[in-house]
Structure 1
Amino acid sequence: MESIIQGKAFVLGKNIDTDQIIPAEHLVYSLSDPEEVKLYGKYALSGVPPAQSGLPEGNIPFVREGSFKSDYTIIIAAENFGCGSSREHAPFALQVAGVKAIVAESYARIFFRNCVDGGFVIPYETAEHLAEVVKTGDELKIDIKANTLENLTAGKTYTLNPLGDVFSIVEAGGIFAYARQENLMNRTDS
């Protein structure tokens, strides 16, 4: 995994729950059929109310009509991102849609763990109120080694909380891949 993530921001408010990230009616698709997996990307963030979508601009679709991938690779959110049910499909859907990182003031614990354990997306935390100063469409650059987020559009840099071992787990592809890589569990090849 690269140490720099660069792309467009998609800004959300607070309390974005897992049913907004991937609505329950879209949990019927296979996780092993590549054609059905694409639908998780297509419907990612489709449950977000228009007033919350792309704050402060409002009503900006995360995934364009007819597409399975988003133009936005970095989500900026306020507090309590990923609250609600414990569905692992939520970070998976964001990954399928092309999200590389989420930067939020805080996360629901189970959503954070699902991001890391599945190796789906990097969940950064920050004390900055970035959802109030970053705009949807701003070009951002995250330096993973320096724990910084640079808004290239606005010419400002912000500090992110260090990831610690989280990055190594996501980079490995999830908790089990990391454990095998670090020889922390017995490997059984069947």
Structure 2
Amino acid sequence: MDTIIQGKAYVLGKNIDTDQIIPAEHLVYSLSDPEEVKMYGKYALSGVPIDQAGLPEGNIPFVEEGEFTSPYSIIIAGPNFGCGSSREHAPFALKVAGAKAIIAESYARIFYRNCVDGGFVIPFETAQPLNKSIMTGDELSLDMENNTLTNLTQNITYELRPLGDVINIVQAGGIFEYARKNNLMASTEA
């Protein structure tokens, strides 16, 4: 896996909950049918209040009408991202929509574990409120090896908290793939 992620920022506020990430009415789609899986991407972050969507401007959809993926691959958020219910559909929906990483001040514990265990999106933490200085649409470069985020639009680099061993699990594709690759459980190959 590449250690650099480049893409556009999508900026959110604080306390973004799992019902805002994927509203409950969209949990009816199959997780194994490829045509229905696309719907998780289509409705990712569709429950975020209009005044918070794409802060600070507001009213910027994460996924455009009629699309299944987002032009934004790096989500920037305030504290307590992923609070609410424990549904693993939330990080799954973000991955299906094309998000590669989230950078937040803090996470709800279960959401963080679901990101890592499923290998869905990489959950970085920052000590500073980046959602106050980064704008939706800014071009970003996330260096996972050096734990830095560079805003290419504004030419500013920020330090991030190290992921530690979490990166190995996410890069392997989740906890089960990590365990298989490291001979911690039986392989599924016959």
TM bin (shorter chain)? over 0.9
**What's 2:91 paired with?**
91
Equivalent residue, structure 1, for 2:57: 57
Secondary structure, aligned partner of 2:90: helix
Matched, 1:73 2:63: no
What residue number does 2:22 align with? 22
Q: Tell me, what secondary structure is at the counterpart of 1:158? A: strand
Q: Using the TM superposition, give the Cα deviation of residue 94 of structure 1 relative to its aligned residue in structure 2, in angstroms.
A: 0.1
Q: Which residue of 2 aligns with 1:120?
A: 120
Structure 2 match to 1:34: 34
Whole-Å separation in 2 of the counterparts to 1:188 and 1:97: 28
Q: Deviations over 1:129-150 (max 9, x none)?
A: 1000000000000011110000
Residue 130 of structure 2: aligned partner: 130
C-alpha deviations, 1:30-68, integer Å up to 9, x for none? 011100000000000000001111110000000011100
Q: What's the CA shift for 1:189?
A: 4.9
In the TM superposition, structure 1's runs of 4+ consecutive aligned residues that sit over 4 Å from their partners are none
User: 1:103 aligned to 2:103?
Assistant: yes
Structure 1 length as normaliser, TM-score? 0.98
Q: Which stretches in structure 2 are left out of the alignment for 5+ residues?
A: none
How many residues matched?
A: 190
Q: How many angstroms apart in 1 are the aligned matches of 2:104 and 2:17? A: 13
Distance 1:85 1:76 in 2: 21
Deviations 1:94-141 (A, max 9, x none): 000000000000000000000000000000001011000000000000
* CA deviation map 1:57-82 (0-9, x unaligned): 00000001110000000000000000
Opposite residue 155 of structure 1, the aligned amino acid is N
SS of corresponding position for 2:70: coil
- d(CA) in 2 for partners of 1:123 and 1:160? 11
- Measured in 2, the distance between the counterparts of 1:46 and 1:188 equals 36
Deviation at 1:186, TM superposition (A): 3.0
Paired position in structure 1 for 2:163: 163
Distance in 2, matches of 1:55 and 1:69, equals 19
